[in-house]
């Protein structure tokens, strides 16, 4: 039976890069954000419930979800956020479980879940949690470099996310990603070997 490791980290931590590096070692990778995007794409399974909960305001004339409008609504209202999570989380969990069944014989797999610390419901499908960790200043610098967002905008995102300490508190394993790609790749390789030993490959 495959063991599943939840991989998480804050914005700019390098979690997606780390996930890809694990995949390069042949480790199965499931991306919770990709599952969510599929559920909310045109014809996605979540759209009828989102339409029933939020109405026409978050859809355009063609019936496509206006993601920015929904994101703004959820950001402004904790009630709207809870309503959306109650729609999406069961659907995301169900789809992840379907994808997990595709890998019955591998030692372990990775599920990338960016907001794992904020959404503990996803811990029920995991055997272990790996946090990609770096300082807040490193997060800000990387995000400015890749996105062009201002420092104030990034600080707003950081405030809305779990703190570094909260993420570290749920971790079974931590990879520090303060340096560059070669150092991260080496750390992922070391962790991969540890998981192979731990989960019996």
User: What's the CATH number where 191 sits?
Assistant: 3.40.50.300
Last residue of a domain, one of 54, 71, 102: 102
Residues 6+ apart with CB under 8 A from 157: 11, 143, 149
Clarify whether residues 195 and 145 are in a common domain: yes
Clarify whether residues 91 and 141 are in a common domain: no
CA distances from 159 to 28, 52, 120, 139, 170 (A): 32, 30, 18, 13, 18
CA distances from 17 to 39, 77, 178, 182 (A): 23, 32, 13, 11
Closest among 125, 107, 108 to 116, alpha carbons compared: 125
Average pLDDT, the chain: 93
Look at residue 156 and tell me whether its pLDDT is greater than 90.
Answer: no
Domain range enclosing 73: 33-102
Look at residue 33 and tell me whether its pLDDT is greater than 80.
Answer: yes
Closest among 101, 134, 127 to 28, alpha carbons compared: 101
pLDDT given for residue 21 in this prediction: 98
DSSP string of 149-178, one letter each residue: --HHHHHHHHHHSPPHHHHHHT-SEEEE--
Q: CA 160, CA 35: separation in Å to the nearest integer?
A: 22
Report the number of distinct structural domains present in the chain. Answer: 2
Look at residue 77 and tell me whether its pLDDT is greater than 90.
Answer: no
Last residue of a domain, one of 75, 102, 129: 102
Residues 136, 144: contact at Cβ < 8 Å?
no
Phi first, then psi, for residue 14 (nearest 5°) are: 95, 15
Quick one: how many helices (H) and strands (E) in the chain? Answer: 9, 5
pLDDT digits (tens, 9 = 90+) for 78-108: 899 899 999 999 999 999 999 999 998 899 9
Residues 73, 165: contact at Cβ < 8 Å?
no
Look at residue 109 and tell me whether its pLDDT is greater than 70.
Answer: yes
pLDDT given for residue 174 in this prediction: 98
Clarify whether residues 89 and 166 are in a common domain: no
Last residue of a domain, one of 68, 87, 102: 102
Clarify whether residues 24 and 55 are in a common domain: no
Clarify whether residues 127 and 181 are in a common domain: yes
Clarify whether residues 118 and 167 are in a common domain: yes
* Confidence label for 201 from pLDDT (cuts 50, 70 and 90): low
């Amino acid at each position: 039976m495959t063991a599943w490791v939840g991989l998480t980290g804050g914005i700019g931590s390098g979690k997606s890069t780390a996930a890809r590096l694990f995949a390069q070692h042949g480790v199965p990778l499931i991306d919770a954000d990709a599952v969510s995007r599929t559920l909310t794409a045109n014809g996605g399974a979540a759209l009828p419930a989102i339409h029933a909960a939020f109405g026409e305001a978050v859809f355009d004339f063609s019936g496509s979800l206006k993601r920015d409008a929904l994101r703004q609504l959820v950001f402004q209202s904790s009630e709207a956020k809870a309503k959306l999570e109650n729609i999406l989380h069961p659907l995301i969990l169900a789809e992840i479980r379907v994808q997990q069944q595709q890998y019955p014989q591998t030692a372990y797999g990775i599920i990338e879940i960016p907001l794992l610390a904020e959404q503990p419901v996803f811990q029920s499908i995991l055997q272990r949690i790996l946090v990609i960790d770096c300082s807040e200043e490193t997060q800000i610098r990387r995000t400015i470099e890749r996105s062009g967002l201002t420092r104030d905008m990034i600080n707003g995102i950081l405030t809305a996310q779990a703190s570094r300490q909260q993420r570290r508190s749920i971790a079974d394993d931590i990879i520090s990603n303060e340096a560059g790609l070669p150092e991260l790749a080496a750390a992922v390789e070391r962790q991969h070997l540890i998981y192979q030993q731990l989960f019996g490959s």
